[in-house]
Amino acid sequence: MRIGLSASGAELELLRRWAAMSYPGARLATAIKCEADYLVTGDKKHFGGLRGRIDIPLKICPPSEFVEILATGIKSLRDAN
């Protein structure tokens, strides 16, 4: 599952600066750089406001939601076979 979004140079620079200033920013920057599809975190303080944003090239979700996503994916694979 890959969603193709691109960021402008200014957006990337802003992300780099935020990552350098904070541990949560570093986690987000690492996930984006690794081209992760998901960042699974229960940290509502730092990531709650980022959930559901379409300008971030990955989905930020809590562990409970990610378990549901995995369960749905596994069920789809089983149904396809």
Domain range summary for the chain, segments of one domain joined by +: 9-80
Question: Rounded CA gap, 8 and 60, in Å?
Answer: 20
What is the band of 2 on the pLDDT scale with cuts at 50, 70, 90? very low
Instruction: Compare 66 and 2 and report the one with higher pLDDT.
Output: 66
Would you say the C-alpha torsion 46, 52, 55, 58 has a positive or negative sign? positive
pTM of the model: 0.65
Q: 45: number of CA atoms within 13 Å, CB side?
A: 3
Q: Is 38 helix (H, G, I), strand (E, B) or coil?
A: strand
Mean pLDDT taken over the chain: 81
What was the pLDDT predicted at 1? 44
| pLDDT surpasses 70 at 9 | no
Q: pLDDT tens across 21-52, in order?
A: 567 778 888 888 888 999 999 888 888 888 88
